[in-house]
C-alpha cells in the first residue's frame, strides 16, 4: 500500500528545501500546496504553523491528529542528500533533516494513500509546526481547538520502528544574572567583587548532570567580563533542569537557586534569578487505549513493540498538556542534530506502514 519510491522521492525533495528555525516559509508553501491538492482544508496561523483538516468518510470514526515540525537545526542549509544502498545521508557538510522531514514525508504519503485507496477513516487533523527546535514555540502558539482529537501521534522520535515514547520530562529554564563590583585588577582588586568568582563558587558545589533516573540538570551558558584587567561586575548564567517528577524538578531548581544565593552572599554580590517552565511532562499510562492501539498494530505488521521514556521534549509535550492522549512515534532516524544523521529507506518505509496500520485499526478497537 505504501509507495516506497514515491515516499523516498518526497523525502529527498523536502530535505533540499532549507527550513532552519524561523526560516520555514518556503517549505510551508510547498506543503500547503500539497495538502490542498490532497483535498484537505488548510490554513496557516499567525506564527506560521500549518493546520489542515480532512473530513472523515466513516461515521462516528475517531479523530486522529498527526504532527511533525518543519524546522531543522543548523547546519541545515543547502542539504545534499545521498542514497547509498538502503541508507540516506547528507554529503557530510550539513545535517540531513530527517528530523523531522521524515515525519512530514510519512504523513503526506499516508494522506496520498487515503485519497487513492478510499481507506475508511474518521476525521484527520495534520499540524506542521515551526520553531520546534528552538523551544517548541510553534506548538505553544496553537489554539486549544486546533489540537483537539481522540489521539495524537507525533512523528518525531528516533530509534526502531515500533517504538513509542509515552513519557518525557518537564523542563524549567533558568537565567541567573550575577552582580559584582568592578575594580582595576592590577591596582586595587580588593575593591572589586568578581561576578565570575561567584558563578564559579556556585556551580562548583552544584549537583549537575544525571541526578537520578528521572532528573537531570545542566548549566550550559556563561557570559561575562569585559577585559582581563577589570574585575568582572556581571555574569549571566543560563541553565536548565528536567524531571519526570514535578516534585524532583522543584527540588532541583531550589537547589540551584540556593547555591547561587549562598555564593553571592558569601562573596558580597547579588543575584537575580528568572525561572520559566519550558514545557510540561508527558505521562501516558502503559495500559491506555493509545498504547494498546500501537501495540496491536505493531503485532499485526510484525514489528517489535517497545514503550520508552525520553529525556527531551517535543511538540507532544505541548499537545498532551491540552488533554489529548499523545505519543511520539519512532520513525527510524538516527544521529539527529549532527552531520552524521541518517535514515534507512527500510525504516522510512516501515514507519509509513505503521502509520497506515494505525489509521486502519483505530476504529476497530
- In the chain, domain spans: 4-168+281-364, 170-279
Q: How many CA atoms lie within 13 A of 163 on its CB side?
A: 16
Phi-psi region of 285 (alpha: psi -120 to 50; beta: other; left: phi over 0): beta
pLDDT band at 232 (very low <50, low <70, confident <90, very high): very high
132 is catalytic: yes
| Same topology between domain 4-168+281-364 and domain 170-279 | no
Indicate if the pLDDT at residue 365 is higher than 80.
Answer: no
CB 58 within 8 A of CB 120: yes
List, for residues 38-71, the tens digit of each pLDDT value.
Answer: 999 999 999 999 999 999 999 999 999 999 999 9
Quick one: pLDDT at residue 242? 98
Quick one: pLDDT at residue 197? 98
Q: Point out the catalytic residue in the list 100, 109, 132, 341.
A: 132
Domain 170-279 has CATH 3.40.190.10: no
SS3 237: strand
Quick one: pLDDT at residue 177? 99
109 is catalytic: no
**pLDDT mean over 213-233:** 98
List, for residues 117-151, the tens digit of each pLDDT value.
Answer: 989 999 999 999 999 999 999 999 999 999 999 99
Among 170, 136, 152, residue whose Cα is nearest residue 322: 152
Averaged pLDDT score across all residues of the chain: 98
Quick one: pLDDT at residue 40? 98
Predicted structure pTM score = 0.94
- Per CATH, which fold does 4-168+281-364 belong to? Aminopeptidase (3.40.630)
Quick one: pLDDT at residue 356? 98
pLDDT cut 90: percent of the chain above it: 99
Q: Point out the catalytic residue in the list 24, 71, 172, 214.
A: 71
Cα–Cα distance, 275 to 238 (Å, whole number)? 10
Amino acid at each position: 500500500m505504501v509507495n516506497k519510491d514515491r515516499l523516498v522521492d518526497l523525502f529527498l525533495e523536502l530535505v533540499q528545501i532549507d527550513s532552519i528555525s524561523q526560516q520555514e516559509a518556503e517549505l510551508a508553501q510547498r506543503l500547503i500546496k500539497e495538502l490542498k491538492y490532497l483535498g484537505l482544508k488548510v490554513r496557516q496561523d499567525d506564527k506560521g504553523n500549518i493546520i489542515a483538516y480532512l473530513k472523515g468518510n466513516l461515521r462516528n470514526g475517531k479523530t486522529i491528529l498527526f504532527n511533525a515540525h518543519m524546522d531543522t537545526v543548523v547546519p541545515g542549509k543547502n542539504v545534499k542528500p545521498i542514497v547509498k544502498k538502503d541508507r540516506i545521508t547528507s554529503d557530510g557538510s550539513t545535517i540531513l533533516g530527517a528530523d523531522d522531514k521524515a515525519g512530514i514525508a510519512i504523513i503526506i504519503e499516508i494522506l496520498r494513500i487515503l485519497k487513492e485507496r478510499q481507506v475508511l477513516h474518521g476525521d484527520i487533523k495534520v499540524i506542521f509546526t515551526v520553531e520546534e527546535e528552538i523551544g517548541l514555540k510553534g506548538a505553544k502558539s496553537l489554539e486549544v481547538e486546533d489540537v483537539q482529537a481522540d489521539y495524537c501521534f507525533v512523528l518525531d522520535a528516533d530509534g526502531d520502528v515500533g517504538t513509542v515514547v509515552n513519557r518525557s520530562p518537564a523542563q524549567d529554564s533558568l537565567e541567573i544574572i550575577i552582580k559584582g563590583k568592578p575594580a582595576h585588577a592590577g591596582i586595587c582588586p580588593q575593591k572589586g567583587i568578581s561576578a565570575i568568582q561567584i558563578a564559579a563558587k556556585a556551580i562548583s558545589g552544584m549537583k549537575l548532570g544525571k541526578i537520578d533516573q528521572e532528573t537531570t540538570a545542566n548549566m550550559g551558558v556563561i557570559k561575562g567580563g569585559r577585559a582581563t584587567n577589570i574585575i568582572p561586575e556581571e555574569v549571566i548564567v543560563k541553565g536548565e533542569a528536567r524531571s519526570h517528577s514535578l516534585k524532583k524538578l522543584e527540588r532541583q531548581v531550589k537547589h540551584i537557586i540556593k547555591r547561587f544565593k549562598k555564593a553571592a552572599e558569601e562573596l558580597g554580590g547579588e543575584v537575580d534569578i528568572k525561572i520559566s517552565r519550558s514545557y510540561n511532562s508527558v505521562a501516558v499510562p502503559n495500559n491506555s487505549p493509545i498504547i494498546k492501539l500501537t501495540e496491536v498494530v505493531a503485532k499485526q505488521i510484525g514489528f517489535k513493540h517497545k514503550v520508552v521514556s525520553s529525556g527531551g521534549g517535543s511538540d507532544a509535550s505541548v499537545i498532551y498538556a491540552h488533554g489529548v492522549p499523545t505519543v511520539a512515534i519512532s520513525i527510524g532516524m538516527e544521529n539527529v542534530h549532527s552531520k552524521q544523521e541518517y535514515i534507512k529507506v527500510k525504516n522510512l518505509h516501515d514507519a509509513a506502514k505503521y502509520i497506515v496500520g494505525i489509521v486502519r485499526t483505530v476504529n476497530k478497537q
